[in-house]
């Protein structure tokens, strides 16, 4: 297993901040050995998965850069733009995409439209009872919660989603200890 803090400690903080800033402006660098490539190299060194938002970039160029980095199998993509999501899906069934539950009338509609790898549920607005239907459809459930209510985190933990999108890992870890009686997850 890669020691992520050790990898990050080797990267100059100023350079890391600049890379993150530049990744937000990817359209000007796709196709070059630019910031996206450098960012993907850092992600590869960390050994985990990666989530790429395709907001203003060309989906094909973004996926191509990810493929060049050898990370396509460890990345999932999302876009707030339905046209970009359709382009991502049209590139290949190997491109893992995430869709938001509230963008479709039902789970089956999402599957029929885009064959997503992941469906993200909003903890406060979506019917989390549909998570089981998501699993039965072969789709990875993800729950998004950007609040800090421990009771909501406890409910999320009890639902056992495959992925969680959150802003407060500290509150999540405290809730995890309460729900499992085991302290921090490993």
Report the pLDDT value the prediction gives residue 185, as an integer from 0 to 100.
59
Report the pLDDT value the prediction gives residue 18, as an integer from 0 to 100.
57
Report the pLDDT value the prediction gives residue 175, as an integer from 0 to 100.
92
| C-beta pairs of 20-26 under 8 Å, 24+ apart in sequence | 26/56, 26/57, 26/62
Cα separation values, 3 from 9, 60, 106, Å: 10, 32, 40
What residues contact residue 55 under an 8 Å CB cut-off, 6+ apart?
Answer: 79, 80, 81, 84
pTM above 0.85, yes or no: no
pLDDT of residue 25 exceeding 50, the answer is no
Q: Which residue has the higher pLDDT, 154 or 22?
A: 154
Three-class SS state of 10: coil
For residue 38, give both structure tokens: 């450098």
| C-beta pairs of 153-157 under 8 Å, 24+ apart in sequence | 154/178, 154/179, 155/123, 155/128, 156/123
Residue 94 sits at φ, ψ, to 5 deg, of -80, -15
Instruction: Give CATH superfamily name and number for 95-186.
Output: Phosphatidylinositol (PI) phosphodiesterase (3.20.20.190)
Handedness of CA 121, 122, 127, 131 (dihedral sign): positive
Nearest partner of 166 among 99, 105, 121, 113, judged by Cα: 121
Residue 28 pLDDT level (bands cut at 50, 70, 90): very low
Mean pLDDT of the chain: 83
What residues contact residue 129 under an 8 Å CB cut-off, 6+ apart?
Answer: none
Report the pLDDT value the prediction gives residue 35, as an integer from 0 to 100.
67
What residues contact residue 128 under an 8 Å CB cut-off, 6+ apart?
Answer: 121, 143, 155, 159
pLDDT of residue 33 exceeding 70, the answer is no
Residue 50 pLDDT level (bands cut at 50, 70, 90): confident
- Which pLDDT tens digit goes with each residue over 110-158? 999 999 999 999 999 999 999 999 999 999 999 999 999 999 999 999 9
Residue 96's DSSP bridge partners are: 76
Report the pLDDT value the prediction gives residue 157, as an integer from 0 to 100.
94
Q: Where are the domains of the chain?
A: 1-90, 95-186
């Amino acid at each position: 297993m890669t020691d992520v803090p050790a990898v990050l400690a080797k990267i100059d903080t100023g350079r890391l901040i600049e890379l993150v800033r530049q990744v937000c402006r990817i359209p000007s660098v796709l196709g070059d050995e630019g910031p996206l490539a450098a960012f993907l190299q850092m992600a590869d060194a960390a050994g985990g998965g990666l989530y790429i938002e395709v907001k203003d970039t060309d989906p094909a160029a973004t996926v191509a850069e990810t493929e060049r980095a050898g990370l396509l199998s460890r990345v999932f993509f999302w876009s707030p733009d339905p046209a970009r999501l359709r382009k991502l899906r049209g590139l290949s069934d190997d491109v893992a995409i995430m869709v938001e539950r509230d963008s479709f009338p039902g789970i089956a509609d999402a599957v029929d439209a885009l064959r997503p790898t992941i469906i993200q549920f909003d903890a406060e607005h979506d019917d989390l009872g549909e998570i089981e239907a998501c699993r039965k459809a072969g789709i990875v459930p993800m729950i998004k919660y950007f609040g800090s209510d421990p009771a909501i985190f406890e409910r999320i933990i009890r639902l056992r989603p495959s992925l969680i999108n959150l802003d407060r890992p500290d509150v999540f870890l405290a809730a995890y200890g309460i729900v499992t009686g085991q302290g921090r997850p490993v």
